[in-house]
Amino acid sequence: MTTIPLPANPVPAPRRLVFWHQKGGTGKTTLAIATAVALARAGARVMLLDTDPQGTATAWGERWAEHWGLAVRAHDGAGLWQGVERLGARFDWIIVDCPPLIAANTLEAVAGAQHLLLPVRPALPDLWALEAVAQVLADQAAIAAGAALHARVVFNQTRDEELAPLRQLVLDLGLRALDAPIPAAAAWADLFAGAPPPPTLAPLLAALG
């Protein structure tokens, strides 16, 4: 009797998380590194892709990636998600740190994201710069349908600011924000000296499910 082999169980593709804002200085690289470390510490296999020409995440990775058991690579962003399914045998998460600009390669990264996080400081200029981002996410000719549904604004480096008016500005742009902000703390600077992320990262991690 001929035995018909059963198909092998497909390897799940890595989950794709992108940090982006068209404005610099919002803390996206810090949060990308911190999230990569936190997921690796929880047992996930993580690849952090640095598509920002400043190369901060790459420089961090040269010093600390091996220590935390994750991979960090520089990437120009072109064809970022091509063949990503094949990486499922090696990684559970691919985290992308995007440059602070609106460009074709950045839009390609955002279009393929399952989770898109937009860090902003509690300051009006950071919110004003979200206007163009919101337009990009709403423009179905520029980005894959549905990507904006997974976008969340992250209020980052907060202190005692009144966030309610800023949250309303986010809603007015058609975006949503995480319920809990990421407070400012001296421990964030220690991340670049090899320390783990502070526990105040927890709301962001919870949003990833």
Strands 115-120 and 46-50, by their bridges, are unpaired
Give a yes or no: residue 4 inside a domain: no
Host domain of residue 84? 15-203
* pLDDT band for position 130 (cuts 50, 70, 90): very high
Which CATH number do you get for residue 19? 3.40.50.300
d(CA 201, CA 204) in angstroms, rounded, equals 6
* Residue 88 near residue 12, CB atoms below 8 Å: yes
* pLDDT band for position 4 (cuts 50, 70, 90): very low
Give a yes or no: residue 104 inside a domain: yes
Beta bridge partners of 155: 120
Give a yes or no: residue 7 inside a domain: no
Give a yes or no: residue 56 inside a domain: yes
Q: How many domains does the chain have?
A: 1
Residues whose CB falls within 8 Å of the CB of residue 54, separated by 6 or more in sequence, listed in order: 29, 99
Give a yes or no: residue 6 inside a domain: no
pLDDT digits 0-9 by tens, 20-57: 999 999 999 999 999 999 999 999 999 999 999 999 99
pLDDT digits 0-9 by tens, 131-183: 999 998 887 545 555 444 578 999 999 999 999 999 999 999 999 999 999 99
Backbone angles phi, psi at 76, to 5 degrees: -80, -5
CA 76 to chain centre: 16
